[in-house]
Amino acid sequence: MPLRLDSAAPDFAGAFDLLVNARREADEDVSRDVAAIVARVRSEGDLAVRDYTQRFDRHDLDAGGWEIDRATRRAALDGLDNDLRAALELAAERITLYHASQRPADRDEIDAAGVRLGARWRPVDAAGLYVPGGRAAYPSSVLMNAIPAKAAGVGRLTMVTPTPSGEINPLVLAAAEIAGVDEVIRIGGAQAIAALAYGTDKVKAVDVIVGPGNAWVAEAKRQLFGVVGIDMVAGPSEIVVVADGANDPVWIAADLLSQAEHDPTSQSILFTDDAAFADAVAAEIEAQLARLATGVTARTAWEANGAIILVPTLDAALPLVDRLAPEHLELAVADPDALFDRVRHAGSAFLGRHTPEAVGDYVAGPNHVLPTGRRARFSSGLSVLDFMKRTSFIACTPASLRAIGPAAVALAHAEGLPAHAASVAVRL
Amino acid sequence: MPLRLDSAAPDFAGAFDLLVNARREADEDVSRDVAAIVARVRSEGDLAVRDYTQRFDRHDLDAGGWEIDRATRRAALDGLDNDLRAALELAAERITLYHASQRPADRDEIDAAGVRLGARWRPVDAAGLYVPGGRAAYPSSVLMNAIPAKAAGVGRLTMVTPTPSGEINPLVLAAAEIAGVDEVIRIGGAQAIAALAYGTDKVKAVDVIVGPGNAWVAEAKRQLFGVVGIDMVAGPSEIVVVADGANDPVWIAADLLSQAEHDPTSQSILFTDDAAFADAVAAEIEAQLARLATGVTARTAWEANGAIILVPTLDAALPLVDRLAPEHLELAVADPDALFDRVRHAGSAFLGRHTPEAVGDYVAGPNHVLPTGRRARFSSGLSVLDFMKRTSFIACTPASLRAIGPAAVALAHAEGLPAHAASVAVRL
């Protein structure tokens, strides 16, 4: 049974603390294995990549090919069912529109002292996109990771994906083709991340690496952070639904299960101010679980990590939501803005009764790569900013340097840096 | 002697590759020591922090105090020399103005399909600022790290700084007071980072940790990335100056030495199209080194890592500059914009003959915490964005869900996620 809490109960604070601090992320320590793989790829290059790929993926890169060529990718796209292709293209179009308007504006202004100050944004030269092999490879994730890079103006986008025993996922290839991925290389694991970061003869180095992966991939990205830019650390998916009793329990149950079906470690939490509605949703979840093809996973996640929390008013749920800082927050009420205005921490919000979270996973436009595990307290979903960087600039005239330079001279001397002081003073 | 290269020489490509790939960062492996400290602080809290502080800083926190109280910080500010105080206040005012206008705009719009889409930025609740003890503690760094947090609207800003044998740096305290730091705790090292990340009884947890530190501090931040947000990995400082023969060699020599005096691992590189000017700068550097109080450090850095590179035209230097992706780039020419327009990778640019890099270290306004070691290829200087995060949002009406929902249903089924499909389908 999922957790059932009442915020009016005397032991609520402690029980909610436990829920907030429950760790759903595996704490597998693969750091030493990953360090060894990274070091070997760095020193031996393709030889190491080929060897690891043979060993872990049972794919011979030299015999079976390093790249998946353009023709194969086009064929995967052409082989798609028409409806599915139209759906992927609609998704790509909407994601592109949303992300294109994330491009930040440059600044260039002259301030009161006469100093010209500004900042200029430019895309990185090349980005790498990791796509897992097998079950966890989703075409929607390819779109969500690749399109922001293209919208940022990245020159070369390299996708890496393991092809265990040579197996290729055609849906993923079709999505890569739609998103405009430039090259696809059949490598995975920590060795793929290391090859992208340092570059080898066969794999050109990139500047930023994004995309989900297993514990080895995540650890390799963490170890190579600083050699390249990386996206956020990803954990199990989660949803918090805040709903009043006027909702259809069938809809809300479906929303809670849409996250639960991802993985046994996924989390779904309902806040409501209506005890009868809470009961109705709980019963409806049981009914839907019984006929859901992914019911075994969803039941495991719901019973291990799910929760229904009764609050006296929905307003009272908001500080609790902020503590959870959920990846997905659904506000299923008639006036969602009144609640949303007071939410500080959430990856993405789904406003009103007609916005199921799943519409954001695929076609709404905003990114579905979002901070999990309370990381919305300090981080944001993937965006064009992950593929761009800013160069600030300063231009003084003789007069404006005379205005602000003496203060720089004073501070440099106070910090014991006389050459800093001299470089300003000689110009005054 | 520093390196002297001519881009027309037959062996230039190889020699420049060596310069680009030279590693100036110590590769000290402290990961296991740091992991042990982090784990102990996490499980034992203040007991562990007190013990490490006694051992590493010879400061007894319980007897000598955990916090540096407001009165002590005010007294440090009141005790400042008037000129120095005015210089710090001018710097703080200009840094505040520049960073306040970095605050990103929210979005809220309705698209062609009738879907409301947007994004909302909010500050993190609390931030931690690491300030080293001893020689590397600069009041200007306190301003540069603290002010963006305050400009972002962060509610609580906690500074941590080791006070070895009880010693406190009054300049640093005065800067903290000017910048509006909320509390100052006398701890340092990996134990301080762990305490800020996990929280203890005495040290409240924060959401983001910024600020420079030694190898232990840097490794602790890397290990705790994901538990909290962190800023970039910092390496030795560096400057690239692109200058024509019309410059005063005295000025350019001073600029090159202003980075060299930081640390023996600092790097200063001059690109020029005028061989006689190159000779004049080299000679002038020798002359200035002879009378510079920080001459020993500056000479070591200049001879080990410095370079003068002759190019046929300054335009020809730009692709080389992009490969170096320097922290600081000075374009000491009459028309710097013509060059700057073609630069893709630099942390900060200093345009024209009257903009010595040091003016940006202190008073210009843009941040002096900048990407080093070629990281300007993929990362940016510190900004208010490091202390804010974005919540995207989506709101469908029944009609707009009918417009885009079917595509989501199709994609969810294709990905084998029937509960995702159902959560949309039940509403159609």
* A56 pLDDT more than 70: yes
**What kind of architecture, by CATH, is found in domain B31-104+122-230?**
3-Layer(aba) Sandwich (3.40)
Q: Which of B59, B99, B328, B368 is catalytic?
A: B328
Residue type at position B189: G
CB A292 within 8 A of CB A262: no
Packing angle, helices A139-152 and A82-100, rounded to 10: 40
> How do residues A151-170 score in pLDDT, each as one tens digit?
999 999 999 999 998 888 89
Res B234: pLDDT: 81
Q: What is the mean pLDDT of chain B?
A: 96
Q: Clarify whether B354 is annotated catalytic.
A: no
Proportion of chain B above pLDDT 70, given as a percent? 99
**Nearest partner of A147 among A389, A390, A379, A362, judged by Cα:** A362
Count of other CB atoms within 10 angstroms of residue B159: 25
Beta bridge partners of residue A122, listed in sequence order: A389
CB contacts < 8 A (A, B): 369
CB B169 within 8 A of CB B135: no
Residues B300 and B2: their CA atoms lie apart, in Å, by: 10
Q: What is the three-class DSSP state of A28?
A: coil
Res B135: pLDDT: 60
Q: Annotated active-site positions of A, please? A: 327-328
Say yes or no: do domains A3-25+235-364 and A31-106+122-230 share a fold: yes
In DSSP notation, A293-360 reads: TTHHHHHHHHHHH-EEEE-SSGGGGHHHHHHH--SEEEEESS-HHHHHTT----SEEEESTT--HHHH
**Nearest partner of A365 among A96, A102, A160, A164, judged by Cα:** A96
CA atoms within 13 A on the CB side of B307: 26
> How do residues A76-126 score in pLDDT, each as one tens digit?
999 999 999 999 999 999 999 999 999 999 999 999 999 999 999 999 999
Q: Does any CB of chain A come closer than 8 Å to the CB of residue B300?
A: no
Residue B168 binned pLDDT confidence (cut-offs 50, 70, 90):
confident
* B134 pLDDT more than 80: no
CB A149 within 8 A of CB A387: yes
Res A136: pLDDT: 63
Provide long-range contacts, Cβ within 8 A and 24+ apart, for A250-254. Answer: A250/A284, A250/A288, A250/B426, A251/A332, A251/A353, A251/A356, A251/B423, A251/B426, A251/B427, A252/A281, A252/A284, A252/A332, A253/A281, A253/A284, A253/A285, A253/A287, A253/A288, A254/A288, A254/A356, A254/B419, A254/B422, A254/B423, A254/B426
Name the residue facing A363 among B370, B404, B419 (closest C-beta).
B404
Res A27: pLDDT: 67
Proportion of chain A above pLDDT 90, given as a percent? 92
| Pairing between β-strand B307-310 and β-strand B3-6 as defined by DSSP bridges | parallel
* A271 pLDDT more than 90: yes
User: What are the domain boundaries of chain A?
Assistant: 3-25+235-364, 31-106+122-230, 396-425
> Are the beta carbons of B404 and A364 separated by less than 8 Å?
yes
Q: What are phi and psi of B122, to 5 degrees?
A: -140, 145
Tell me the fold of B235-377.
Answer: Rossmann fold (3.40.50)
> Are the beta carbons of B351 and A261 separated by less than 8 Å?
no
CATH H-level, domain A3-25+235-364: superfamily: Nitrogenase molybdenum iron protein domain (3.40.50.1980)
Nearest residue of chain A to residue B396 (CA atoms): A355
Tell me the fold of A31-106+122-230.
Answer: Rossmann fold (3.40.50)
- Residues of chain A in contact with residue B406, where contact means CB-CB under 8 angstroms, are 87
Which residues 6+ apart lie within 8 Å of A256 measured at CB?
Answer: A239, A241, A268, A270, A281, A285, A302, A306
Residue type at position B347: G
